[in-house]
Amino acid sequence: MRVEVLPRCDAPLTGHVAPAIEAEGLCFGYPDGTQALHGIDLVVRRGESVALIGPNGAGKSTLLLHFNGILRGSGELRILGLAVEDKNLREIRRRVGVVFQDPEDQLFLTSVAQDVAFGPGNAGLQKDEIAERVREALVAVGMEGSGHRAAHHLSFGQKKRVAVATVLAMRPELLVLDEPLSNLDPRAHRHLAEILLALPATKIIATHDLPAAHELCDRVVILDEGRIVADGPAHSVLGDRALLAAHGLELPYGFVLPDRPGRR
């Protein structure tokens, strides 16, 4: 299958700063014999926001779980300049934040504050520093004043925001988000989208929501049957209806891609 690479117009890397993600020939198969990834080659530069789109079963979640070593396949993979191998996993997981599709996977303690403090506490930070990280993260997601609440009493949108806060408390350099805007009502969708847009970290976002991909990311990668089949500026990839259709994707009926300042 030919990979369609559209013009990127990226500025060249300067100095010796390693990309956030460097994958070369990355493959992964599950124990039941399902081959989920086939020779993934991908570079994500620091500061980029990249949307990963594709049909169900394309391998998006599988690929995301490689970026902090939850899953490990064959081939080469470096995260923030570190090879994904045993000796580097602790440091990679400190610097990479993963937000799962279901917030219940990240909220399991008695209160919101305890959930947000869990990562910094495990990292061995002092009590005052943990408290500051919790405060900072809850403010960032608009949930300040909710630290005492039990997560199971929150709305789904609030749970999504707290799940993001649990990751922000670790001050990650790379954010990996799996369907962060799924199943939200319009107001919660807009609120969380604004939060994600404001975050300075490098972001890679898997989503079925193509308008959200355009809103949140300057670059879009299409994954299909475990292979990257297109990679380019968001407006170019998402504006190519024939390309989308060839991989089981389409924009919502009547939706027209808006132009945004700086959008390539």
As a whole number of angstroms, the distance between CA 246 and CA 144 comes to 45
Q: Is the pLDDT of residue 44 over 60?
A: yes
Q: How many residues does the chain have?
A: 264
Instruction: Report the distance separating Cα 47 and Cα 21, nearest Å.
Output: 11
Q: Flag whether the pTM goes above 0.95.
A: no
> Across residues 82-91, what is the average pLDDT?
95
Sort strands 4-5 and 227-233 into parallel, antiparallel or unpaired: parallel
List, for residues 153-166, the tens digit of each pLDDT value: 999 999 999 999 99
Structure confidence at residue 10 (pLDDT) = 38
Q: What's the whole-number average pLDDT of the chain? A: 90
Question: What is the mean predicted confidence (pLDDT) over 167-189?
Answer: 92
Least confident of 4-13, 146-155, 163-172: 4-13
Residue labelled with tokens 């440091």: 91
Q: What is the pLDDT of residue 17?
A: 82
- pLDDT of 118-137, one tens digit each? 999 988 899 999 999 999 99
Reported CATH class of domain 18-246 = alpha beta
